[in-house]
Chains A and B, each alone.
Chain A
């Protein structure tokens, strides 16, 4: 195609295709699925993604040379609108919204040719191994180490909070390759097949009963040097890029196609659910409840104009890349507030009706409401990012910044600051 198809025409074509090929969405999602059901959903997602790829709709904003469509955000939004109401392979969101864009940004041509088409065609699910049990917000203080032995890195340590590692195929892992330099300068980003010898993956059970997250343990895992992403010891730059894409994705603004407009968590119809809740408890005419519903309507409607504005400023170079924190913080705060609102509308029965009930589900979601203000960087980290990187206010004091990491560790053991 020499001339680019208009978003409207693309959307119309997508709509017609979806009607014929995609299964309809099932009722309100949100109840925690059990492990068997989860694996079924993942298998289905691989099939659906393959279908979408073969029909020429996968990776709408990915370059054509790596299996994508080379189109724009307007086309992506048209796709999202056209496919609302259908089952979509949302399992691939992390792969297409975070790891794919990172590979696109930092990978060699060979690495991209080998893996991007596989991601877009449903063959490879990717995940990131960043956080560790002893370092969350202070990511650069991580302990997992990759020691170089000729053309091989030997990986030892543990990672945590990786989404769906137990059913994924590849991971990007940030590890320390030089402890004798300050913490940010001795890290490297590698990628690895998750089912490598020496890797143990354990799902973590959450308060809501589900286990979307995992912890991994590495015992002398051997990885070829060819799996380096970016330069050795330049992993912090790659990780920063990855985190940028993560904030963008959670804010609904990355290269992953299958997200309903306005939203991060795949809760397709927040307002519809709140209305159903208000009716179920007989409060839909109550003025206070209507104020809360009105507030939720406002919160839901903030996303698109705010994302559009932040995007325009990013593209015009009037805001630096960390401005993605604005979108991430917005989605964290608004989604948290919506969960509070549901609780207040529902009243006593949210704690009485059980997790399988459309009233009780809001009591369960409340228990996990902090996942959204923590995952992908806590809201406090986003606020640091906005004030320091977007507004240019003075940085927080970091006593460990220019000290070789081995010394930081030594003083940590002695219980000193820095």
Chain B
């Protein structure tokens, strides 16, 4: 957690924490996965939205929260949702809301933002493409003008909440440059192939677009002039992902420490063995670094700092590598019990592992860092 939270942010954190403990305990997520039920219902998301979680980046006149520090508040929510490995499309909904708030026309804002804010409309960001293209300007999906319409073709991969999203924000290449379009899920030619559940709290799907026709009014911003917005959305996604991941990493690390204090072997607590203490010390160090990076990234993004792009990749490379590795070693410290379905550890490991690759792997971000410094 950012240790410099305001009183309002502490209240927000506490409110979200209690809501999730009541509405989405890990045991429920586990049972839903076992029974093949979706990880969350529309009603759940609407009630989460009543706490303001979907309205952070929505301007006040369109139903937004009107917070003083919207990005940092949103980061508090993302951390808390991470720490409980909670279900809910916070990241994609926030990215779509931010794109609309920045580049949408008055009509577009009026049509979508109030419903995104109150949780009645579910949106996702269809940006990634197979096998692992995550930077928005790398999209191969193509859109061409046809009369007053746009016709979009391509395949978007690993789209969060694709089973329930009402609209997709699709990034595509055009003759004029990059563009993005809001495409309803029932648009003819759009099909969704849902993927097997890995993260128990989230479902992903591949979204295929075959000559999907949308009106000119579906474009968010003008084709060829959205590069800065796409970059911002990408950095927002990385910022929220970092916050979510450090939230879950801190929680499972603390639980592991507690366990090693209370579990005895050969007449001593596990935590008294130097072979384990030294590993725990290293984990603590890299956890603190992860928390420090996440906070620095959130502040840099909120301030539109020019170093944000580089810091985002540093943060992703560090957290992406360290979080699954540390959680995996937490499993070693817990012992065999952590290899059971009933133990919570695998829920944390699943999300941390998925997050390692979503929006670019650590290796991709190391390469991106080289490019950013001109190599």
Q: Chain A: residues with CB nearer than 8 A to chain B?
A: 271, 275, 284, 287, 290-291, 293-295, 297-298, 301-302, 304-310, 312-313, 316, 318, 326, 329-330, 333, 380, 382-388, 390-391, 393-394, 396
Contact = CB atoms under 8 A, between A and B. Distances in A.
Given A290-B366, A326-B284, A386-B285, A297 B373 contact: yes
Nearest to B318: A298
B69 interface: no
B292 A309 contact: yes
Contact of B274 (A275, A316, A326, A396): A396
A390 B253 CA distance: 14
A302 B318 contact: yes
A318 B3 contact: yes
Interface string B254-292: 000100110000001101101001101110110011011
A394 B264 CA distance: 12
Q: When A and B form their complex, which 9 residue pairs have the shortest distance between CB atoms, in order from nearest?
A: A294-B366, A305-B292, A309-B292, A394-B272, A387-B277, A386-B281, A383-B281, A305-B296, A383-B278
A69 to B, nearest CB: 26
A330 B284 contact: no
B293 interface: yes
Contacts of A388: 277
13 contacts: A290-B370, A294-B366, A295-B366, A297-B373, A305-B295, A306-B289, A306-B293, A309-B291, A330-B285, A384-B278, A387-B271, A390-B284, A393-B271
B293 to A, nearest CB: 5
Given A294-B363, A308-B292, A384-B274, 19 more contacts: A271-B373, A290-B370, A294-B365, A294-B366, A294-B370, A298-B366, A301-B310, A301-B311, A306-B289, A316-B3, A326-B285, A326-B288, A382-B281, A384-B277, A384-B278, A387-B280, A387-B284, A393-B261, A394-B268
B303 interface: no
A299 B373 CA distance: 15
Of the candidates B4, B317, B370, the one having the most CB atoms from chain A within 10 angstroms of its own CB is B370
A75 B268 CA distance: 48
B1 to A, nearest CB: 10
A304 B296 contact: yes
- By CB atoms of chain B within 10 A, which of A271, A284, A295, A305 has the most? A305
Contacts of A304: 296
A271 B318 CA distance: 17
B369 interface: yes
B285 A393 contact: no
A294 B364 CA distance: 9
A329 B280 CA distance: 13
Contacts of A313: 3
Interface of B: 3-4, 257, 260-261, 268-269, 271-272, 274, 277-278, 280-282, 284-285, 288-289, 291-293, 295-296, 310-311, 314, 317-318, 363, 365-370, 373, 375
A275 B373 CA distance: 10
Nearest to B363: A291
Nearest to A311: B292
Interface centre among B272, B277, B280, B311 (most CB of A within 10 A): B277
Consensus secondary structure, chain B interface: helix
Contacts of A387: 271, 277-278, 280-281, 284
A298 B257 CA distance: 27
B375 A293 contact: yes
Nearest to A308: B292
A308 B260 CA distance: 29
B369 A297 contact: yes
Nearest to B370: A290
B155 to A, nearest CB: 26
B27 to A, nearest CB: 28
Given A380-B278, A384-B277, A394-B271, A305 B370 contact: no
A209 B189 CA distance: 72
A410 B274 CA distance: 28
Given A275-B375, A313-B3, A384-B277, A290 B367 contact: yes
Contacts of B289: 302, 305-306, 330
B3 A312 contact: yes
B288 A294 contact: no
A245 B371 CA distance: 38
Contacts of A394: 268-269, 271-272
Contact of B369 (A287, A298, A318, A330): A298
A169 B343 CA distance: 61
A295 B296 CA distance: 19
B151 to A, nearest CB: 37
A310 B278 CA distance: 19
A271 B280 CA distance: 30
Specify which of A295, A306, A333 lies most central, judged by the most chain B CB atoms within 10 Å of its CB: A306
A304 B307 CA distance: 13
Contact of B295 (A309, A329, A382): A309
A330 B282 CA distance: 9
A56 B317 CA distance: 42
A226 to B, nearest CB: 41
Contact of A301 (B257, B261, B314, B370): B314
A308 B268 contact: no
A326 B292 CA distance: 12
Given A271-B373, A298-B318, A387-B277, A306 B366 contact: no
A328 to B, nearest CB: 10
A393 B318 CA distance: 26
A330 B291 CA distance: 14
B277 A284 contact: no
A140 B365 CA distance: 46
A309 to B, nearest CB: 4
A383 B274 CA distance: 9
A387 B277 CA distance: 6
A329 B284 CA distance: 11
Nearest to A397: B272
Contacts of A330: 285, 289
Contacts of A386: 281, 284-285
